[in-house]
Structure 1
Amino acid sequence: MKRIVFLVLASLLVLSCNGQNESTDTFDAAFVHSVYIWLKNPESTKDRAAFEASMETFMKNSLYAKTKFLGTPPKASREIVDDSYTYNLIVTFASAEDQDKYQKEEAHLKFIEESEHLWKKVLIYDAIGPKEE
C-alpha cells in the first residue's frame, strides 16, 4: 500500500513539474508588449463586460500574439506600486516584425474599434529580451 501511495505522489510531482515547464516554454521574451488601460467608467459592469468580451475575441483571433495575458491590479501594498489602472494586457511576439504585423492585423484593429470609446488612457511599454547566441 505504501508503495502505491509513493508511486501516485511521485507521478503527481512529475506531472506538476512538466506543467510548469510547459507554461514557462510558452512565454517568448523576444518581444514583450505590456499595455496598461484605464477605463472611463471602471465601476461599470456593462463597460467591463463589453471590454472583456472584445478582448477575449481579439486574443482568440490574433495571428501574431503568442503569450496572451489579461489581468487586473491587486490592491497595492507599497507606495511604489501603481494600482490605478483597470486592466493590464501582456502579449509576446517572436520578433519585432511580428509585433509590427500585429499592429495592422484585423483582430487587433477590430478590438480597438470596439473598445476605444471605453478607455480614457492607455500606456504601452515594449521590451526586448536578450539575444540568444
Structure 2
Amino acid sequence: MANSTRRKFIGTAAAMAVTTTVATAMPFSSSTNVMEQQYPVVHHVFFWLKNPDSKADRDLLVAGVKTLSKIETVKGLHVGIVADTEKRDVIDSSWGVSELLFFNDLAGQAVYQTHPIHLAFIEKYSHLWSKVIVYDIAQA
C-alpha cells in the first residue's frame, strides 16, 4: 500500500512540475499580442455597408473577406462584425464588417494590395459597401 501511495505522489509531483514549467515558459499575452509579435505589420479595415440592416449583405461580405486568407503573404486573418457591447462615447459601432490582417513585413503587405485575390475581392464585393477606412499599423 505504501508503494502505491508513493508512486501516486511521485507521478502527481512530476505532472505538476511539467505543468508549472510549461506555464512559466509561455508568454503572458493574448493571442492577438502573439500575432503582433510574430507578424509586426497589421492591416485593419472597416467596412460600412450600403444596406446596414441586411444580414445577407453582411454575411456575403464576411465570406468574401475570408477569401483573402488564401493570399500567401497573409499570415493571419480575423474577420469581425460589430459586437453588442455597452454604448459609450468612445465606441464607434457605425461600421458593419472588419478585417484584421497580419503580415511579416511591409513587402508582404504590398504584395497583398496588388494580389489577384485581393483585386477580385474588391471587384466582386465593393457593391456591398458605402465607405471603407484602413489603418495600417507597424509594431512600435
Tell me the TM-score normalised to structure 2 length: 0.72
Select which of 69, 72, 91 maps to 1:63.
72
Cα distance in 2 between the residues matched to 1:84 and 1:123: 12
Count of matched residue positions in the alignment of Structure 1 and Structure 2: 128
Is the aligned partner of 1:81 residue 2:59?
A: no
Select which of 113, 130, 138 maps to 1:120.
130
Counterparts of residues 92-107 of structure 1 (less than 5 Å): 92-107=102-117
State the Cα deviation string for residues 21-62 of structure 1 (Å, max 9, x = none): 794533345211111111111221221232122122222x11
In structure 1, the partner of 2:56 is 46
Backbone CA RMSD of aligned residues:
3.1
Tell me the TM-score normalised to structure 1 length: 0.76
Change (3 A) 1:86 1:46: same
Gaps of 5+ in 2: none
Gaps of 5+ in 1: none
Cα distance in 1 between the residues matched to 2:134 and 2:87: 23
Retained in 2: the 8 A contact 1:76–1:83? Answer: no
Select which of 37, 53, 56 maps to 2:47.
37
Structure number, greater radius of gyration: 2
Change (3 A) 1:42 1:5: farther
